[in-house]
Amino acid sequence: MPRPTLEFRVVVASPSDVYEARKAIFDTLHELNRAFEIQRVSLRALGWEEYASPGVDTDAQHLISDQILREYDVLIAVFGTKLGSPTQSAPSGTVEEIEHAISKQDSQMGKFRVQVYFSDRIESLSSVSVDELKKLEAYRSSLKERGVLYRTYKNEDELRREVRVNLQRSISEYLAHRAQAPVLPGAQPSTPHQSLQASTPVIAAQEDFGLLDQQEKAERAIAAANASIEAMSVLMQEINAETNRNVAEVERISSPLVSTSEKKKVFNSFAEFLKEKAEKLMDEAASARSSFAEFFDALTILIDLDREFSSVERHQIAITRLLEAATALSQIVRQGRVSTITFKQTIESLPRITIQFNQAKKLLTGALNECIEVFEQTERGLSDLSATN
């Protein structure tokens, strides 16, 4: 029997110099599509490669946009070292697609309808055009001035993680809002694209989930949680390395011959770096919190469901295995909490220097507090789980 499915259409936009990054995004969308399948939610990745047919128009980009921008919910754009080829109405085709998404004020995805990523890596200076880099930086600055929050990435693995976390959060928030929104008598609930019209709910009820569904949910959640913890660790390592580099820079400019303006410029540049990393830490903490909650929920239900299918002996073996996994997770979380507390103390010991630096320091401390709280809540949850079994 056909099942009603809620479909989210995601356009992937980019210039021609980011083939590997573009492929990484498509791969991530396919992975998320499989992960969301259990909730009767699907993701359709739209790119010019598959969804733009050859044809004739006044402008090639107009032909592409007319086909892939007809109906979509989220636009993910990724840049490398150039802005792209100009069109009749925009500095590049990718820019034209981004601006189209920004202008969709009535989008059901709201503030999450546009998600932009910029590469923070240059592999070969000889292959890079300075003019293209200037154009790219100018557009990047214009997005920031207009309140468009973008992300940077150093490699394809980091890009995959960013896309996975941000898109998963966007869809989850949409689904949560949709579930809470009242539906007037005779009115149809607002959805991005429902592939089969039916009176039955699109999202599966909890009682519809079986043993293997919950096991898959737990495995996926713990993998996502571990990825977030690893990302937190990497971010703190990057902050620590940049802090050490800036200590050396401060020693260099400590001479009375160096003007105060130049000194402030160094510290304010460091402050921008800290703000960016603090925002990423907050994102990873939120992702970890959500993943741990999903893990606990699935684990608790699994313990009950396992009794329906197993003998007493097999049930005890299964419970022991789950608790061993929880114990191993607890050790990772405890190490993460301790190292984060130590790192926070290091950040708090930094002196107050400029307004921007002090604001960045406060933002970073808040992000680290959020990470610590996630670790503490998870430790308590794992301890309670062990105590009751």
DSSP per-residue string spanning 40-55: TEEEEEE-HHHH----
Give the span between the Cα atoms of 259 and 254, in whole angstroms: 9
Give the span between the Cα atoms of 7 and 74, in whole angstroms: 12
**Buried b vs exposed e over 296-318: b needs ≥16 C-beta within 10 Å?**
bebbbbbbebbeeeeeeeeeeeb
Q: What is the pLDDT of residue 42?
A: 85
pLDDT tens for each residue of 333-386:
888 889 899 988 988 888 888 888 888 889 899 889 888 988 888 888 777 666
pTM for the complete prediction?
0.52
Q: What is the pLDDT of residue 320?
A: 66
Q: What is the pLDDT of residue 54?
A: 44
Average pLDDT over residues 159-168: 86
Q: Which residues lie closer than 8 Å to 300 by C-beta, 6 or more apart?
A: 385
In order, the DSSP letters of 316-342 are HHHHHHHHHHHHHHHHHHHHHHHHHHH
Closest-CA residue to 96 (of 111, 86, 104): 86
Average pLDDT over residues 159-181: 77
Q: How far does CA 92 lie from the centroid of its chain?
A: 25
pLDDT band at residue 78 under the 50/70/90 scheme = very high
Average pLDDT over residues 230-244: 87
Q: What is the pLDDT of residue 303?
A: 64
pLDDT over 60 at 66, yes or no: no
Strands (DSSP E) found in the chain:
6-13, 41-46, 74-79, 114-119, 151-153
Output the CATH code of domain 6-179: 3.40.50.10140
Q: Which residues lie closer than 8 Å to 180 by C-beta, 6 or more apart?
A: none
Q: What is the pLDDT of residue 53?
A: 42
Vertex 74, ends 137 and 293: CA angle to 5°? 105
Per-residue CA distances from 203 to 34, 38, 162 (Å): 15, 9, 25
Q: How far does CA 349 lie from the centroid of its chain?
A: 30
Q: Computed from CA positions of residues 170, 223, 152, 284, in that sequence, does the dihedral angle turn out positive or negative?
A: positive
Query: Greater confidence, 352 or 387?
Result: 352
Give the span between the Cα atoms of 335 and 326, in whole angstroms: 14
Q: What is the pLDDT of residue 124?
A: 65
pLDDT band at residue 64 under the 50/70/90 scheme = low
Q: What is the pLDDT of residue 79?
A: 94
**Contact between 302 and 214 (Cβ < 8 Å):** yes
- The type of residue at 285 is A
pLDDT band at residue 10 under the 50/70/90 scheme = very high
Task: Match domain 210-387 to its CATH number in 3.40.50.300, 1.20.1050.20, 3.40.50.2030, 1.10.3210.10.
Answer: 1.20.1050.20
Task: Please give the DSSP secondary-structure letter assigned to residue 346.
Answer: H
**Residue 2: strand pairing partners:** none
Query: Greater confidence, 268 or 57?
Result: 268
Q: What is the pLDDT of residue 12?
A: 92
Query: Greater confidence, 124 or 142?
Result: 142
Q: How far does CA 151 lie from the centroid of its chain?
A: 9
Domain ranges of the chain: 6-179, 210-387
Q: What is the pLDDT of residue 305?
A: 62
Q: Can you tell me which residue has the tokens 């990724």? A: 78
pLDDT over 90 at 69, yes or no: no
pLDDT tens for each residue of 219-229:
777 778 888 88
pLDDT tens for each residue of 320-332:
666 676 677 778 8
Separate counts of helices (H) and strands (E) for the chain = 10, 5
228, two tokens: 């977030």
Q: Can you tell me which residue has the tokens 């020693």? A: 251
